[in-house]
Structures are given as structure tokens and as C-alpha cells.
Amino acid sequence: MQTPVAPAIQPSVPLRRGFRRPVSAGRIVLQLVVVLFSIYMLLPIVLLVIGSFGETWTNTVLPTGVTGHWFADLAADTSFRRAFGVSLIVALACCCATAVVGLPLAYALHYRALSGRGLTARLVALLPVGVPGLTLGFGYIAIFSGDTLPWLGSLPLLIAAHTVLTLPYLTQTLLSDLRHLDIERLEACAATLGATPLRQFITIVLPNLRQSLFSGLVMVAALSIGEFQVSNLIAGFRYRNYPVVLLQAFYGATGMACAATVVLLCLAVIATFVSVNTVQRLK
């Protein structure tokens, strides 16, 4: 039996063992930009986490000593506990309100866009994103500080303001899903099968929008919990939300302020994980 012989390598064919693509200057610059951006994004968060466990932090680059009492102090502080509760109530109420208003609004905007008449309505719906928060806040002060509508500082007004601010984010999420699903074809099909418009909405539109509705509401909750600009202007002493109290904490002990910020950050991270996991499960 003949032993197979490996073909001889011709001298003219260069061996390319361990060949690596040449690294271009553009690639290096790109990687550098990514690294710098990551540092820019992560450094404040890392410093906050370090600060929340530091004993003292005055006129030094990093805090000195290690402690966990800032979190204990935070839990014991009634103003923080109350602000945390207010933030959760406002976020929850805001989610309910945006869902009740946002679903039919997105549905109507979708059909107006299909008939070529949606531009004005869409601009109005997106206005809260484009208009600076300060403008909205001053508008609320002007309207609700008088004797006719003396609601400045009340909880319902805070919820209403958060609803106006966060509504565009939910409607945009729903609108992109409506476009993607080609919902009008599904509705037409349901109609031929005997579904009235209300039953089409309940049995076809709502179940198909559940993913975007959920992820949109998580975004609404996250935005509401972190909202400072308008809340600082319109929230009264009784209904200050978490970010407003948090700012005042920075005038006191740095460790306490860092711990309070870390709690807010944890809420945002949890919300993101819950959102991603639930959307994947719904798929």
C-alpha cells in the first residue's frame, strides 16, 4: 500500500503562518475613541460607587476609609424614604396614565400617518421632547400658581407633568411596533373573520403590542423616577421626588449623596434588566 505523500510546497509560494492583518491608523483612532468614551461614561459612576462606601471625601481625589453606614443613614432618613415613595407613586401613576392616553394616541397617529395627515399630530405629540423642561416648568408655574387653578405643589399636577413629559417616548415605541407589525392588515383580516372594531383592538392590536407597551412603560417609569428639571419647579415640599431631595443631599455629606445616587442608579439598572428579560420572554 502506498503511503500518501504530502504535496511539496513550491518555493515561490510564501508561507503565511501567524499572518495578521495590518493595523491601520484609522482603526487605532476608532478604538481610542471607544475607550475614551467608555471612560467618560463609566468614570462618574465608578466614583459615585466608591464615594458611597468612603468614610470621608474632602479635597482628595478619592475618599478615605471604608464604610457602609451611608446606606443605613439613607434608609433611616425620612425625607429620602418619603421622596422614594413619592417617586414610585408618581412613576406608577405616570405609567397608568401614559398607557391609557398613549395607546389610543399611537393608534390614532398610526392611522393618520397612513392617510397622509399625521404630520401635525405627530409634531404636537413630540413637542414635550423638543421643548426644554424649564419652559414646561415655568408654564406650569404660570398656570397653576394663581387662585383659579391653585394646584402647584400637588401630587396630581406632578403626575400630570411627568405624563406629558414621558408620553412621547411611549407613543414612539408603540408607533414603531405598529408600523413593523403591519397592524392594519391583521385588523382587516380579523374584520373579515367577524371581529368588530372593538374586538379587533382587544384581541389583535393589544396582544400584539404587549412587548412594545411593556418596554415603553419601563422607559416611562425610568424617565419619571429620574426626572428633576420640571419636578424641582413644580413639586411642593410634601411631594418632592427622589432626584429633588438627592440634589439637596449634595450640600451635606458627600458619602450620603453618593449612596443616594447609587440607589437611583440601581433602580435604573433593575428596570433595564426587567425590561429586557420580560420582552425576551414575551417573544
Query: Which pairing describes strands 54-56 and 64-66: parallel, antiparallel, or unpaired?
Result: antiparallel
Q: How many residues bind another protein (CB under 8 A)?
A: 19
Distances (CA, A) of 245 to 8, 80, 227: 78, 7, 12
Specify the residue, 154 or 278, whose C-beta has the smaller distance to another protein: 278
Q: Classify residue 182 as left (phi > 0), alpha (psi -120 to 50) or beta.
A: left
C-alpha to C-alpha distance for 283 and 57, rounded to whole angstroms: 47
Q: How far is the CB of 121 from another protein (least distance, A)?
A: 19
Specify the residue, 190 or 245, whose C-beta has the smaller distance to another protein: 190
Specify the residue, 91 or 183, whose C-beta has the smaller distance to another protein: 183
Looking up cell 419619571, which residue turns up?
224
Q: How far is the CB of 194 from another protein (least distance, A)?
A: 4
Report the number of secondary-structure helices (H) and strands (E) in the chain.
Answer: 13, 2
Q: How far is the CB of 243 from another protein (least distance, A)?
A: 38
Specify the residue, 186 or 279, whose C-beta has the smaller distance to another protein: 186
- Site string (131-170) toward another protein, x via CB under 8 A: ----------------------------------------
The answer to whether the CB of 159 falls within 8 A of the CB of 213 is: no
Number of neighbours of residue 25 by Cβ within 10 angstroms: 7
**Considering the rule CB under 8 A, would residue 179 count as an interface residue with another protein?**
no
Q: How far is the CB of 25 from another protein (least distance, A)?
A: 46
DSSP state of 253: -
Q: How far is the CB of 199 from another protein (least distance, A)?
A: 7
- Site string (180-219) toward another protein, x via CB under 8 A: -xx--xx-xxxxxxxxx--x---xx--xx-x---------
- Site string (75-94) toward another protein, x via CB under 8 A: --------------------
Query: Three-state SS string across 83-117, please?
Result: HHHHHHHHHHHHHHHHHHHHHHHHHHHHHHHHCCC
Q: How far is the CB of 106 from another protein (least distance, A)?
A: 18
Amino acid, single-letter form, for residue 1: M
- Contacts with another protein by CB under 8 A lie at 181-182, 185-186, 188-196, 199, 203-204, 207-208, 210
